[in-house]
A and B are shown apart, each in its own frame.
Chain A
Amino acid sequence: MLMEMWSYDFMQRAFIGGVMVCLLCALLSFFVVLRRLSFIGVGISHSAFGGLALGVMLGINPFFSAAVFAVLVAWAIGFTSRRGGMAEDITIGIFFSSTMAFGVVLLSLSKEYKADLFSLLFGNILAITAADLWMVGGCGLLVGLFLFLLFKELLACAFDEEVARVGGLPVEFLYYALLTAMAVTVVLSIKVVGIILVEALLVIPAATGFQLSRNFRWMLFYSLLSGFLAVVGGLSLSYAYDLASGATIVLCAAFIFVLAFLFSPHRGIFAKK
C-alpha cells in the first residue's frame, strides 16, 4: 500500500512539500531551541492567522498578507521583549491572542472562507499545488541560505549575545533577521501542518537533537534527521490510516522526541550517568 501511495501526484507533492518544510523548520528549530525563542515562535505562528484573515478581507493572496503580517508582528514581539520593562511571556501572550482574535473577527465578517478554517489551523498537506511547491522551494531556499551563510554569527549570538556584540557582530540585525526567517517559515508551513501545529516543528526536532548529542554539530544533524523521519512516518501513517496528515507528522516528531528523551545515551533518563 505504501508503494501505491507514491503513485499519486498529490502524495508526491505532499511528500516533497512536507520534506522541504520539515527540514527548514528543523534547521530553524536548532536556533529556536538554542536561543530559547520557542514562545516567540508561538506568538509569530498564531499572528499569521490575523494576516491570513486580512488577506481574505482585502481580496489579496492570503499567504502574502500572512507573511507580511507575521513578519511585522515578529518584529514587534522582538522589539518589546528586548526593550524589557515587561516580562516577555506577558507581551507574547497579549500579541498572540489579540492577533488571533483579530483574525477570527475578520473571518466572521467574511462569508466565504469559513470552510477552510480547519485546514488553515491544522494544515492540509494533500492540497499542496505545484505552485505552492515552487513558493516553498524558493522562499525556503532563501531562508536556508541565510541560516547557512550566517551560521557562525548566529551561533555566536546564540551562545552569548553580549560578547558577540563586543566582538563587533551586528546582533540586532541578526536577531531580527532570525525572527523574520521564523515568520516566513511559519507561513510556508501553513499548508503542511497549519498555524496551530507549526510551533511543534519549530521546537521538537532540535529538542530531539539536543537530547541525542553533546555537541551542536550532532544536534543539528539529529534535528534534521528527526524532522525528515517525522514527515516520512507521519505522511505514511496518515495515508494508511486516513489520519489528519499535519497532526500525524507532529505526533511522529513528538514520538521520536520521547524515545530520545528516554533512551538517549547522553541525556536520556535511562542513560548511565
Chain B
Amino acid sequence: MTATTSAAVELAHISVIYGNHAVLEDITFSVAAGQFVAIIGPNGAGKTTCLKVILGLIPPSSGTVRLFGLEPAETIKKRHAIGYVPQRSVLERNLPFSVMDVVLLGRVGAMGPLKWFSKKDRADAEKNLQRVELLDCADRPINELSGGQLQRAMIARALSCGDPKLLVLDEPTIGVDIPHQLGLYEVLVNLKKEMGLTILVVSHDLAMISNYADEMVCLNRTMHVHGNSCDVLHSHGVEAAYRCEFDRLFGAGKGGQPC
C-alpha cells in the first residue's frame, strides 16, 4: 500500500462528505502502473464516487489524489492519458452516431480546437476497434449494438483519448450476459498486456472480476481490504464489507454443503 513513484494512481486519506453523511472515509491505496485493479464492494458502497474522485469529477472533502504523480486535472489537461468508460445507463439514448463516430469522439479532447478528424485519427480509431474486436461493426449505428458490443465500443473510445496509460471502467458488465462478460474481461487483460495499460474497474460482482484482476480494493464507505485478488477474496474484510458470509456470497446451491 505504500506509494511509489511508479504508481499510476495514489489516493491518500480521501473522504467525501455530503452534509453530515460520509460517502467515503479515509480511503488510502495506490495502484502500480501496469496493474489490473478492481474496486469492489456492495451497492451504495461509494465505489463510483471513489472512481469519480480519481478522475477529478468529484472534489474530495479531504485527502489527495495523484495520477502519475500529478493532480487529476493536470494529468487530464497535459497528458490525455486517461480513458474512461462510464456506467452504461448514461448511454441509453437513441443518438444518431455510428460506432466509428463514437470512437472518434473519444479523441476530441486531445486534438485541440479548429481541426477535423484526420486520416491518422481514423486509422487509430480503426486500430482501437480492432483491439476490442469490433472493427466489423465500425459503420453500424451505436443503438443497434448488443450490451457487450456497446461496452467494447466504449472501451475503444476510451483508448482513443490520446496517449492512454490508465483505463477506468465503472461497472462495465452491468446488463451483459456471462459469456460476453468473459469476453469483455479477456479484452481488458489483452489490452493490459499489449499496451501496458493500468486498468481500474469498479464492480459489485467480485466473483467474476476476481478471475482477472491482479489486485482488489474492497470498500464499503471505508477501506476494508486491499491486496492480491486471491487473498482479498478469502479475507474477513470482504465478508465485513458485504455484511455477508463468504459461502453465501458465492453460493453453494440450495441444499448443498458450503465448500
Contact residues of A with B, CB < 8 Å? 34, 149-150, 152-153, 155-156, 158-160, 162-169, 210, 213-216, 218-219
Contacts and interface: CB of A to CB of B under 8 A. Distances in A.
A166 B55 contact: yes
Interface string B116-146: 1100000000000000000000000100000
A162 B80 CA distance: 15
Given A152-B117, A163-B157, A168-B80, A215 B109 contact: no
Given A156-B109, A159-B105, A162-B90, A168 B55 contact: no
Contacts of B64: none
Interface in B141-179: 141, 157-158, 161-162, 168
Tell me the dominant secondary structure on chain B's binding face.
mixed
Nearest to B52: A162
B108 A214 contact: no
A153 B113 contact: yes
Contacts of B76: 166-168
Contact of B114 (A149, A159, A160, A213): A149
Interface stretch (B91-99, B197-205, B216-224): B91-99
B110 interface: yes
A18 B162 CA distance: 43
Contacts of B86: 160, 162-163
A168 B162 CA distance: 10
B141 A162 contact: no
A165 B168 CA distance: 14
Contact of A164 (B55, B77, B109): B109
B109 A214 contact: no
A152 B95 CA distance: 15
Given A149-B113, A152-B117, A214-B96, A169 B101 contact: no
